[in-house]
Chain A
Amino acid sequence: MAKRVGMEVAVAVAEAVGQCDIDMAAVYPITPQSHIAEHLSDLVADGKIDAEFVTVESEHSAMSAVIGASGTGARVYTATSSQGLMLMHELLPIASGMRLPIVMGIANRAVSGPLNILNDHSDIMPQRDSGWISIFVENGQEAVDVSIQAFKIAEHKDVNLPVCVNIDGFQLTHMVEPLEFPDQELVDKFLPPRVPYATLHPSKPVTMGAFAMSDYFTEMQKAKDEALINSKKVILEVWDEWAKMFGRAYKPVETYKADDAEILMLTMGSMGETAEMAIDALRAKGVSVGLIKLRLWRPFPFEEIKAVLKAAKKLIVTDRAVSFGGPGGPVFSEIKSALYSEARRPAIYNYIIGLGGRDVTVKDFIGMVEKVIPCSAEKTVDTYEYWGVRES
């Protein structure tokens, strides 16, 4: 049985990546991801892992470097946050288009402006359509586990897609948590060496990232879309295997006291555990309320979301990012799309919360639920509100 240790989550993510027999990493430091870069470079410099750590001058170069290295068949890792992710943006669809199984940790942080270094989801949301598998974690243990699982998912022969692991900046990255690292022997068994579908090698030249015009581009996009949609099957298999080997189960959509709930609340990322406390407090007062925690952002788990929303009368969707001038938060839009074709669907309310590191407390979640209790579920109105915004 693996031993529990107290460790800062960002450092723990680097440790977990260090257990994955990576060949190469290129990470440019940026708050609040820097401790991943620092600790991973320490592991390489101290000879604890046999890998190349390429020091690059920007995140654009970091992503470019891991794309090239991944093309040679190497197992690669990078990590970033906020502005760094925005700088990588150009290369993200190239990595997925070339079907390279890169793993990236994202310490989610608000995007400027104004300049802000604290947590929200405005960095990952503009990358939504880049063709990456995107998973959110809720606590340090999940950050460790998913960082390892991500390689297995990405490199699966039916997937061959990059994976990003969303780890809320500060709220998770800078917490010291009791963590269990899987035994190295078991990780080696779980994660065999990568078998690339093609490699850049002079002995057998190939072209990666070739040019394609209108006659060919549509087919390529369709193939990438199908690969991403079908990756869910592999993700579920990998999570099953993880549960059997390490005893911790993962699902695309997690629930908490949701089975019989009339009102459901949905969170994504680190806020889930705070919301659970609010659910407990409300249940104690007799409110029929439950929680949905969305773990898999891409591919979006449509079936699982529909299944958990079957019986609910009201649904509160929380978003930690804004789609300016849009129909509501990005998560809200997706949930609404999922429900459009359903004959029976809950009234749905959207609250924008926790922007730029603003605390979201148990009291806030209770407040959101209490606000929708008197609303008539028969009369569906579009609710799109900045929770707790100062107004005069």
Chain B
Amino acid sequence: MAKRIGLATWQEITTGCVVFDPGSASEYHTGSWRAQRPIWDNAKCIKCGICYVFCPEGCVQQSEDGFFKANLDYCKGCGICAHECWPRAITIVEEK
């Protein structure tokens, strides 16, 4: 079911759209709404993680090198990470 979201016909969807498989939200890429995206300047980043803490989508992740990036499958471009970032390492740019 989860893999068919967006593709299923009206006859194929389950009664009441009950989702029987757990984890389907992770398969639903809601980042398509986004009009803007965050860009990290790792030269300014102090790896404090406040972007990770404040992201309302929980889509900011720490890489192995300790820096952060947003998973653009889910990032809505809200800009909260950039607003909270005190070294001003994050800028919000228009999607093209």
Contact = CB atoms under 8 A, between A and B. Distances in A.
Nearest to A204: B20
B35 interface: no
Interface in B7-30: 8-11, 13-20, 22, 24-25, 28, 30
Contact of A215 (B6, B18, B22, B25): B6
A223 B11 CA distance: 7
Nearest to A198: B18
B46 interface: no
A207 interface: yes
A365 to B, nearest CB: 43
A210 B17 contact: yes
Contact of A97 (B9, B14, B16, B28): B16
B39 interface: no
B6 A198 contact: no
Q: Majority SS of interface residues in chain B?
A: loop
A97 B13 CA distance: 12
A208 interface: yes
A100 B16 contact: yes
A212 B8 CA distance: 12
Q: Majority SS of interface residues in chain A?
A: loop
A198 B15 contact: yes
A207 B27 CA distance: 14
Nearest to B33: A213
Contacts of A334: none
Interface string B50-82: 000000000000000000000000000000000
Q: Which of B8, B9, B17, B19 has most chain A Cβ within 10 Å? A: B17
B13 A205 contact: no
B9 A219 contact: yes
B5 interface: yes
A28 to B, nearest CB: 25
A210 B16 CA distance: 9
A226 B15 contact: no
Query: Size range of the interface on B?
Result: 10 to 19
A197 interface: yes
A198 B20 contact: yes
A160 B6 CA distance: 23
Nearest to A157: B15
Q: Which of A97, A98, A215, A219 has most chain B Cβ within 10 Å? A: A219
Contacts of B6: 215-216
B18 A207 contact: yes
Contacts of B28: 211
Nearest to A197: B15
Nearest to B11: A223
B22 A98 contact: no
A219 B15 contact: no
Given A198-B16, A206-B20, A210-B19, A226 B5 contact: no
B8 A219 contact: yes
A216 B5 contact: yes
Contacts of A198: 14-16, 18, 20
A208 B20 CA distance: 9
25 contacts: A97-B16, A97-B17, A98-B16, A98-B17, A99-B15, A197-B18, A198-B14, A198-B15, A207-B18, A208-B16, A208-B18, A208-B19, A210-B18, A210-B24, A212-B17, A216-B5, A216-B8, A218-B10, A219-B8, A219-B9, A219-B10, A219-B13, A220-B17, A222-B10, A223-B13
Given A197-B15, A207-B19, 20 more contacts: A98-B16, A197-B18, A198-B15, A206-B18, A206-B20, A207-B18, A207-B24, A208-B16, A208-B18, A211-B28, A212-B17, A215-B5, A216-B17, A219-B8, A219-B10, A220-B10, A220-B13, A222-B10, A223-B10, A223-B13
Nearest 5 pairs of A and B residues by beta carbon = A99-B16, A207-B19, A219-B10, A215-B6, A222-B10
